[in-house]
């Protein structure tokens, strides 16, 4: 049973435009959400997080939005750059573990 879902396995965006990556979760006990970026054969790199008491967190080009009633979060990247091309995982935290989504492969083309 996948508690954290990323329904879009891939996304292709033109450089300079906005990338929107979506994530849905089922467990209402999750209280902290994170986005990680991952290149092949490397460990996930932390990008941005949000607590369940907030609905938005912004860090430079990255903004995460949380809609608790819909159990949905999204990551916006504005403007998208070719170096953003990677697999993006959302993760949800409960107790002492992170539950990862299945990932979305983002490709930013010139």
Partner 1 sequence: AAGVIQSPRHLIKEKRETATLKCYPIPRHDTVYWYQQGPGQDPQFLISFYEKMQSDKGSIPDRFSAQQFSDYHSELNMSSLELGDSALYFCASSLGAGNTEAFFGQGTRLTVV
- Subset of 19-58 contacting partner 1 (CB under 8 A): 31-32, 34, 36, 41-46, 49, 51
Least distance (Å) between residue 4 CB and partner 1:
8
Nearer to partner 1, 42 or 83 (CB): 42
- Subset of 69-88 contacting partner 1 (CB under 8 A): none
Contact 94, 29 (CB under 8 A): yes
Contact 102, 6 (CB under 8 A): yes
Report DSSP state, residue 80: -
Closest alpha carbon to 84 in 37, 22, 29, 51: 37
Least distance (Å) between residue 86 CB and partner 1:
14
Nearer to partner 1, 32 or 62 (CB): 32
């Amino acid at each position: 049973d996948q508690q954290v879902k990323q329904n879009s396995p891939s996304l292709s965006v033109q450089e300079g435009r906005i990338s929107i990556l979506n994530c849905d979760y089922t467990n209402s006990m999750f209280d902290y959400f994170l986005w990680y970026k991952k290149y092949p054969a490397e460990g996930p790199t932390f990008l941005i997080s949000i607590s369940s008491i907030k609905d938005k967190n912004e860090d430079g080009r990255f903004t995460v939005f949380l809609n608790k009633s819909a159990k949905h979060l999204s990551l916006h990247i504005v403007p998208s750059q070719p170096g953003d091309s990677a697999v993006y995982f959302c993760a949800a935290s409960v107790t002492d573990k992170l539950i990862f989504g299945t990932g979305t492969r983002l490709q930013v083309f010139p």
